[in-house]
Structure 1
Amino acid sequence: MSFQRSYLDPSPDLSTPPPSPWRARAEHIRRRPIRLRQAAFLLTAFTILCTFVYLSRHRQSDSYTYDDWIDIADRRVPLQSLQEPNLPLPPQNGHDHRPQHVPGRTPQLIEDHAIRPQVDVSKLDHSDTHADAVAVAAPAPAPEPIVFSLIMFSEDSANEGAILMKSILMYTSKPVEFHVICDEGAQAYLEKRIRLITRPTRNILVRFYRLTFDDMKRRIEREGAIVSDHSAGTPGLMKLFIHEILPESVSRAVFIDTDAFFITDPALLWDRFSSFKPDTAVSMPYHPDQSNEGWHHANRICSCIMLLDLARLRKFRLMDSSAYRAAGAPALAPAAFEAMFGAPGDDGKYEGVKLGDQGYWWAITSQMPKVFEHLSYDWEMSSCLMDMYGTGLGDDARGLEEEGRRQVHTLDTPQEGETVLPKMLHFNCLDGAPNYYEWDGWSDPQNSLGQRWQHAVKYHAGFKWLWLNAHKPMGTLTIETQEKVVFADELFAQRQAVGPRESA
């Protein structure tokens, strides 16, 4: 905007400069009477200003969260120090409702680490018409743990088993329980590594069941007719007695051989239990395309991984015992054994049984199919089938159909027409090394198995236990040892002895 020069520079002919047009306009407005439109404008402006100030103060008051009182994110106050498991509502209308210390109240650990306000409905002011509904938040139930039962005797066995346990903790989305049937050497090896986890992401329970060879032999003798010529020997036969070794409080468990490891969340495997049929007690991979008459075709299953409904196995009374025979309580397995192997020989043992415990499991599952269900090959990428279905690392853009067309060992099986998607790798039948991860084939550039899977093996074997520690402590680690194992048939005999005395 520009002005005439006469308004800027005083004229030499005038004693005083002319009045500014802005001043003249303001003076004119001041002398005019207030009109209704102007009054309405001023009143509206004042109302808007007051409303803005009020809302600003109200929003500032309501912006407080529990993190203002207890900085859970930074864990400045440990979870164990929270004195009130049910914290009150956040501050409202500027009032401070911070939780107060209650003397004598035992601190409780919040499992899911989320603070959920609790509302006492009986104390609500039902005259408050502004509240449409009140949500009463109940504590979320603790997630069900994934339960594993593993067998490890000797440090060499624990060398491999440690990688399996490590992989489970690497990928799990749920708490984990390990029930490890072992000797003193295996426990010492495992415990040294497990105790490196000082800040577990989720709750971990490790319980060692210490068995001596004499304990195992006595149980086999009470069964009376089984024997093993497999390299796993007597400890391998314990796979038939897991339901007798673990307490009745453990109703289900996953068994896996030590020469395997997960490459995905084991919770996906645990979910398979939810689809079991009413009579199903065991699930493992089934390969009807495999055949070996000398083994009674026991290679058609793999007891390397088993989903065991331990409660049903106890109910069926799977394995025989002199204690059961004395009480006239028949067991499930003897009829299946005799149907496949014939009556025991002159030495009282079944003849021609191959592959150790797997031979006996095959007799049970093939003679009594109602107790058995197939488990997807996704969970048994076995190197005994050296092609491992023809899949491996690499070519990450390959589609599902193309991947399925390239796979082998699936025709005439339950997996026919369904692409195998590896979730657990099993490196068995690798001769020449005490442990699968030391196999010479991993460094052989011409070996097909080594080319496809060596990087997975090296990564999981080399992953450090220390790396399993979380940034913030969110779970607990519990390690227990059961020094003396009492088999279920021994408990049965004890109860039978007590029964007659009580009735007398």
Structure 2
Amino acid sequence: MPIATRYVLPVALVLFLGLNYAFLSYTRPSALNSVITLNQHLPDSTVNVHLSSDNVSAQAAPVVFALVMFGASSATEGLLALKTALMHVSRPTEFHIICSEDAPPIIQEKLDLFTRPAYDISMHFYPLSGDMIKARAKRAGVDTEYSAGLGGLVKVFIHELLYNVDKVIFYDTDMLFLVDPFLLWREFDQMHDQQMIAFPDLGPESGDAEICTCVMLLNLKAMRAADFMPSSLSPASQKASISPPAWKAMNVDPKRPQFGDQGLYWAVWKHRPEFFMHLGLSWDMTHCRYSYGLSLADGDDSMSEKEQGAHQYDTRNAPERFAQLFPGIVHFNCQPDFPIVWTEPKNSQRPRWGPFVTIAMQYKWIWLNRGLGDAHVASQVVRRNKGEWWWDEVSTSTSSSGNKAGGMVKRPHQPHSH
């Protein structure tokens, strides 16, 4: 190769790179700096971008749920509610099932069908008798004549039963998740420190039938700190519960509240709104209001936001963050003739959400075997000594003995895992 050519090529290459550097520095300095900064801070290991599920699980805290299942029918109905959460969730989960003694075997039978979940699943059963709920309700001065019975009334005591848990998503057994529950879980980030509870409502003038305690974000720790439910065990020197003044102010008889637990929650929400946050209606696509106009059968997949907005109805004065709703959770309520709502054949045949019901019913539990073998399902039936079931018992006993309230832990059976 001639000497001239031997030197010209390297010089040309240097000039080319130099001109490109100058061009980027002048036209896109931020982009260039970003690339330089990124290269300076990325460790060598990031060349391999494949993340193991171990790494993902280690970084992701679980999404925590609470459900109430009293009776075999309720547990059977709740299986689909539970399954759809597991179908869509993108991280570990922790379930706290408040139930009758016959519920755990029904759930466990399905859990035993899969052993290789994508993320760890932790299942905790809290079997309660009716007398246990009645005793706590009596100490609070509340009762119910509503059709949901004691299984509904216990929803005002979730924070007291789960006294080792900080916060949960509560949802009813007749609901199906259509999206990742983590999207709902991150709504906790929107709550300020004083807010304890979020549920759907139709605006500040909503009556007790226009809120829904079917799905709630519950800051259990804050509810305990505020003594959300009163107790005759509480010492006279203790700060008074916020609920009895609200029931009185809103003319709610705590022994006969309209809609059971919902009437009790409603009165406190109405009287002390600073403790509550509105939860978007997308998380309660209620059959009672025909899902606010949303439907699979309404137009095609190219519908615009404006068009859907024109089809939405009955949202009234709900303080939605965004006008356009989406089906986050579909709620098959207002169907009292069926103890297990999924046995109502119309639910799988209706064009509104029928295909989703069919998918939920026919999706195999074994199809939750979709992990790498490094995540597991663990379950336990929680057993506690008498006098250790409820927060009012634990907090007063530990205070009187000079111990720190909340230091007592649950005494579960040996976990069942696979």
2:378 pairs with 1:481? no
User: How many residues get paired?
Assistant: 354
CA–CA distance in structure 1, aligned partners of residues 204 and 95 of structure 2: 34
8 Å CA contact retained: 1:287, 1:299: no
CA–CA distance in structure 2, aligned partners of residues 375 and 220 of structure 1: 27
Instruction: Name the CA shift for 1:443/1:481 in 2 (closer, same or farther; >3 Å).
Output: closer
- Candidates 248, 254, 263, aligned match of 1:338: 248
- Candidates 266, 290, 296, aligned match of 2:181: 266
SS in 1 for 2:301: coil
Cα deviation, residue 141, structure 1: 4.8
SS in 1 for 2:212: coil
CA–CA distance in structure 1, aligned partners of residues 329 and 170 of structure 2: 13
Greater CA radius of gyration, 1 or 2?
1
- Candidates 79, 104, 108, aligned match of 1:187: 104
2:196 pairs with 1:281? yes
Cα deviation, residue 210, structure 1: 1.6
CA–CA distance in structure 2, aligned partners of residues 262 and 406 of structure 1: 22
SS in 2 for 1:184: coil
Partner in structure 2 of residue 254 of structure 1:
169
- Candidates 268, 288, 294, aligned match of 1:384: 288
Taking structure 2 as the reference length, what is the TM-score of the superposition?
0.79
Q: Which runs of 5+ in 2 are unaligned?
A: 7-43, 46-50, 404-418
Cα deviation, residue 223, structure 1: 0.9
Partner in structure 2 of residue 400 of structure 1:
305
2:95 pairs with 1:178? yes
Cα deviation, residue 415, structure 1: 3.4
Q: Deviations over 1:447-497 (max 9, x none)?
A: xxx221111112112211111101531312111111226100001221233
2:124 pairs with 1:207? yes
Taking structure 1 as the reference length, what is the TM-score of the superposition?
0.66
Residue type of the alignment partner of 1:451? P
Residue type of the alignment partner of 2:354? Q
8 Å CA contact retained: 1:437, 1:458: no
2:68 pairs with 1:151? yes
Q: Which runs of 5+ in 1 are unaligned?
A: 1-36, 45-88, 91-109, 115-138, 292-296, 445-449
CA–CA distance in structure 2, aligned partners of residues 140 and 184 of structure 1: 32
CA–CA distance in structure 1, aligned partners of residues 348 and 188 of structure 2: 39
User: What root-mean-square deviation, in Å, do the aligned CA atoms of Structure 1 and Structure 2 show?
Assistant: 2.5
Cα deviation, residue 289, structure 1: 8.6
Higher relative contact order (CA 8 A, sep 6+): 2
Partner in structure 2 of residue 369 of structure 1:
273
2:353 pairs with 1:441? no
Correspondences of 1:321-360 after superposition (within 5 Å): 321-326=231-236, 328-341=238-251, 350-351=255-256, 353-360=257-264
Cα deviation, residue 207, structure 1: 0.8
8 Å CA contact retained: 1:111, 1:142: no
CA–CA distance in structure 1, aligned partners of residues 321 and 354 of structure 2: 27
Partner in structure 2 of residue 33 of structure 1:
none
CA–CA distance in structure 1, aligned partners of residues 263 and 337 of structure 2: 25
8 Å CA contact retained: 1:152, 1:183: yes
Cα deviation, residue 184, structure 1: 1.8
8 Å CA contact retained: 1:410, 1:416: no
Partner in structure 2 of residue 494 of structure 1:
397
Cα deviation, residue 140, structure 1: 8.9
- Candidates 167, 189, 197, aligned match of 2:84: 167
CA–CA distance in structure 1, aligned partners of residues 238 and 317 of structure 2: 43
Q: Deviations over 1:86-131 (max 9, x none)?
A: xxx99xxxxxxxxxxxxxxxxxxx97446xxxxxxxxxxxxxxxxx
8 Å CA contact retained: 1:431, 1:439: no
Correspondences of 1:393-432 after superposition (within 5 Å): 393-394=296-297, 395-415=300-320, 418-432=323-337
CA–CA distance in structure 1, aligned partners of residues 321 and 53 of structure 2: 41
Instruction: Name the CA shift for 1:319/1:471 in 2 (closer, same or farther; >3 Å).
Output: closer
CA–CA distance in structure 2, aligned partners of residues 370 and 185 of structure 1: 39
8 Å CA contact retained: 1:290, 1:299: no
CA–CA distance in structure 1, aligned partners of residues 267 and 100 of structure 2: 29
SS in 1 for 2:66: strand
Correspondences of 1:27-66 after superposition (within 5 Å): none
SS in 1 for 2:258: coil
Q: Deviations over 1:371-409 (max 9, x none)?
A: 001011110101111x21111114222121111111111
Q: Deviations over 1:272-298 (max 9, x none)?
A: 01111121100000113986xxxxx20
